[in-house]
Every structure is written in structure tokens, then in C-alpha cells.
A and B are shown apart, each in its own frame.
Chain A
């Protein structure tokens, strides 16, 4: 979490990891995996809720929702879960503005909540998200979907759905850009001291 960059839209430099086309294909593949693993198209489908972690997780969750509806015909509610107030590094970093929280009207009690984020790094964001979830209700189960898993976990947390596994060095930045936040899709790796 510490050096995970949610980089600026004008970051042209760096090694390309996923092109715009790759991002769209990856999201489609993850949607298929979610449908399969949660048996969303079965007769007794579980109440699945997608919760994105702002900013780009929210946008990813919305896109996953579209694909899932397209592939399975099932409309799953999507929302946003801001975890700023639950972070464990609040005292070490500059004050940050809070983002939107929007939970589906049906709530998350007894639902299968799938947390959605752009990059999985230390795992601390996800720990904070799990804490936040506990204050909002009691899901029957929680799963995790991430576009990029870059390793370097500091907590016993793993993703259920991974768009792409990328070995990185700690001082590199993985920059995810998504069309509705940054204007275009793409993932690049930048930096690293050498």
C-alpha cells in the first residue's frame, strides 16, 4: 500500500503491462471466472454484491458488473466501499479526503461480497476493507478480485480472482489507468532505483 501509486493520467512512461485491449479482455475473463466460481448462472444463485475500493476499484466493479450481466443475464448490485477511515497508516501520510461509500440498498448481510481493487500489493488496503465491512454488516462470505497482483504481501491475504500476476520490485510503481477515471485503459510499471 505504501508505494502503490494510483498514478496520474499523463504517465506515458514505463513498461507496458497491459494494453487497452488487454484490460478489456482481462475484465471479461474475470467476469467469467466470477460467474463460474460463484455459480451465478445456477438456479439457486447466491446473492452476490460487488464492492469496489475507490477510486479505480469502484470503476472496475462497475465494469465487472456490466460484463457479468452481459454473460449471465444476472444483474449483481455494485457499490463503493471507502476504507480511508480504517487505514493503519493515517498518522504516517498526509491527510486524505474521504471518498464515496455506496452500498446496495439490500445491504450486505448474508451476501457473498466480492471486494474489487485495481492493484493488490501489501494487502493492508484489503485488511482495512475487511474491517470496514464488519461495521456495515455480516456477509456470508468475502472474496477478492484484483486487476493486478504485484506481490510483496505483508499480511496473510490472497485474491480469488486475479487479472494478471506481475512480479515487481518493491520500489517500482504499478500504474493502473481506467477509461472513466483517466481517459484510457492501460497498466504500466514505472520507476525502480537502478
Chain B
């Protein structure tokens, strides 16, 4: 693995290797007072965030620090980006300053891909931490890690992804990763919130949530992304919530073992009822917890090992 740009095209073997590493890292650190491994000492990880983020950024920073890498954060506000510097120039500057790995979040789909292309010759690894409406691979990996922990192997498991699939990079990354790992994915959304070309994805599509609930092993609720909605995708928030929100009544229709996931940030009362988010079957804080180990594993696979040295 040279870069991690998306889960589309990520082989089952590589994905499983990363997940196993994350698993082992989690167990290695369990119960330890010192959450620090010397593995990436002397490596520099730069996070470039052109979009707001709490958990992803903190998670990457903690992951890097726990592996003893030096982590430098650059955000669009307060950097030369505000003076009009292009993405390419910013990236080349950071790479020239000694970054071994650049973690990027950007509002434009494909930004990570472009960056990887520019930085390939420099030997700098690129991790996509969310690009527009395209992919967010580490989120999908941490979701898979959480599901594996709760359900065991994902082969043959049925997972529903519910809500704003159109604007969701989390949904795209999960569709590819979960189906690569052998799970059956069903997208549940109003037709207006499904992307064009969904027919070519390895998924089933449904518009009625209630019909799917009893057969699910896991359900992933997506946030309705108001910041990307510039049209009338549904009549009202209240109607959306009633039709596609995970209420307590709907939760009762899920099988006993089913897991509730949410990539966060949650809009309680909109796509997920507050009581459901706090119920024991919700794995939302576990997702965040696993996120650190998954990102440590990704950095390990990118930065340790001889292929990583230019």
C-alpha cells in the first residue's frame, strides 16, 4: 500500500491486513498506562484539513502520536491557503518541509487522488480523510473494525446504509469495503438522495426502511448533510425523520444482535432518536475508539516497511 485514497479497488487481502493490524494494536495497548509505541519515530505526518472536522482530525493526530510520529496540523484557515496558495503548492511545500505522509480532507471530490499524483515522485504517502462526496476510507475501515468486533467475520452479513447516500462519502467507502469483505449491503434512501449510477454498485436499493429492518445484522445511519443540500431533496425535515429516521419503535424491529452505527456528527432527533443513540446496541463511541487504532494501522502499513522508503 503506497497511498490510501479510497476503498474502491482496495483488495480484501489488504483491507483484512489493515483490520488485523488494528485489532492487534488495540489489544497491545489495552490496559496499558503508556499509550505510545516507538514504531514511527522520526516520521512526520502532516494533516491538511480544508473542511471542518473534530473526530477525524483528532483521531489521526492521536494515532500518529501514539505511534511516535511527529504530527503537524495545517488547516485552511490560518495558513497560506487563505492568501490564495493552490493545493498543489501547499502540498509540495509541506512535502519539501519533510512530510512523510499527508492526510488530507478537502471539499472537492478527487482532491486526494490529485495530491497523490503530485506527491508520488516525492515519496510522500497520501491518506484520504474525506474528499467531497467521493470517499472516506478510514471511516469505512473503522466501521468494518467495529462490525467485526461485534459480529465476527462480515461474510454474508446484511448491512443497511440509511439516509443521505447522495452526499455521503462514508456511504460510498462503506459500500465498496463491506462488499469486498463479503457483506451484503442495502441502501435505504429516498430516490432524491441516491446518486446517479447506483445501479452499477454492488448493492441492493430500497425505499422502505421498515421492510428491511428485521433482516439486518447492522444498520448505519447517515447524517443529512445540510451544508451540501442546495435543492429540495425532501419536503421537510420532519417528514424525512418520520420516514427514514431510526426511532425507538424501529429499533425494536431489528434483530436482537443487530448493531447501530453512525459516522457522526449525529443530529439527534433527525436521523436517529436520542434514546437509540445511547442504547447498548449503538456502537457509536466504539467507532470513534476503533478509529484511532485503525488510523494507527493505516499509518503503520504506509510508513513502516521498505516499500515506504523512497
Chain A residues with CB under 8 Å of chain B are 82, 85-86, 90-101, 131, 135-136
Query: Quick one: which of A90, A96, A97, A131 has the most chain B CB within 10 A?
Result: A90
Contact string against A for B residues 54-75, beta-carbon threshold 8 Å, 1 for contact and 0 otherwise: 0000000000000000000000
Q: Which residues of B contact A90 (CB under 8 A)?
A: 39, 304-305
The answer to whether A85 and B306 have CB atoms under 8 Å apart is: no
- Among B24, B301, B309, contact of A91 (Cβ-Cβ < 8 Å): B309
B32 within 8 A of A: yes
- Among B25, B28, B300, B305, contact of A94 (Cβ-Cβ < 8 Å): B305
B149 within 8 A of A: no
Q: Which residues of A contact B300 (CB under 8 A)?
A: 85, 95
Q: CB within 8 Å of A: which of B217-250?
A: none
Closest Cβ of chain A: how far from B136's Cβ, in Å? 23
The answer to whether B301 and A135 have CB atoms under 8 Å apart is: no
- Among B27, B28, B305, B308, contact of A85 (Cβ-Cβ < 8 Å): B28
The answer to whether A86 and B28 have CB atoms under 8 Å apart is: no
B11 within 8 A of A: no
A86-B38, A98-B20, A98-B25 known; A135+B307 contact, CB < 8 A: no
Closest Cβ of chain A: how far from B106's Cβ, in Å? 27
Q: Which residues of B contact A94 (CB under 8 A)?
A: 305-307
**Given A95-B306, A135-B34, 10 extra CB contacts under 8 A:** A85-B25, A85-B28, A86-B38, A94-B307, A95-B304, A95-B308, A98-B28, A99-B24, A100-B27, A101-B24
The answer to whether A101 and B306 have CB atoms under 8 Å apart is: no
Closest Cβ of chain B: how far from A10's Cβ, in Å? 23
Chain B residues with CB under 8 Å of chain A are 17, 20-21, 24-25, 27-28, 32, 34, 36-39, 300-301, 304-309
The answer to whether B307 and A131 have CB atoms under 8 Å apart is: no
The answer to whether A95 and B38 have CB atoms under 8 Å apart is: no
Q: Which residues of A contact B304 (CB under 8 A)?
A: 90-91, 95
The answer to whether A92 and B306 have CB atoms under 8 Å apart is: yes
The answer to whether A98 and B24 have CB atoms under 8 Å apart is: yes
The answer to whether A97 and B17 have CB atoms under 8 Å apart is: yes
A91-B305, A94-B307, A97-B17 known; A131+B38 contact, CB < 8 A: yes
The answer to whether B24 and A95 have CB atoms under 8 Å apart is: no
Query: Quick one: which of A85, A91, A99, A100 has the most chain B CB within 10 A?
Result: A85
Report the bound CA distance from A182 to B307 in whole Å: 29
Query: Quick one: which of B27, B28, B39, B307 has the most chain A CB within 10 A?
Result: B28
- Among B20, B24, B38, B305, contact of A82 (Cβ-Cβ < 8 Å): B24
Closest Cβ of chain A: how far from B119's Cβ, in Å? 19
Closest Cβ of chain A: how far from B152's Cβ, in Å? 18
Report the bound CA distance from A33 to B300 in whole Å: 40
Report the bound CA distance from A85 to B35 in whole Å: 13
A85-B38, A86-B37, A135-B32 known; A95+B27 contact, CB < 8 A: no
The answer to whether A95 and B301 have CB atoms under 8 Å apart is: yes
A97-B20, A98-B21, A135-B36 known; A82+B307 contact, CB < 8 A: no
Report the bound CA distance from A98 to B27 in whole Å: 11
Q: Which residues of A contact B32 (CB under 8 A)?
A: 135-136
Q: Which residues of A contact B24 (CB under 8 A)?
A: 82, 98-101
Report the bound CA distance from A76 to B301 in whole Å: 36
The answer to whether B37 and A85 have CB atoms under 8 Å apart is: yes
Report the bound CA distance from A24 to B73 in whole Å: 56
Closest Cβ of chain B: how far from A71's Cβ, in Å? 32
Report the bound CA distance from A120 to B251 in whole Å: 57
The answer to whether A135 and B37 have CB atoms under 8 Å apart is: yes
Report the bound CA distance from A100 to B117 in whole Å: 36
Closest Cβ of chain B: how far from A45's Cβ, in Å? 26
Between A and B, 8 residue pairs with Cβ closer than 8 Å are: A85-B38, A86-B39, A90-B39, A94-B306, A98-B28, A101-B27, A135-B32, A135-B36
Q: Which residues of B contact A92 (CB under 8 A)?
A: 306, 309
Query: Which 4 residue pairs are nearest across A and B when measured between Cβ atoms?
Result: A95-B305, A98-B24, A90-B304, A85-B39
Closest to A98 in B: B24
The answer to whether B306 and A93 have CB atoms under 8 Å apart is: yes
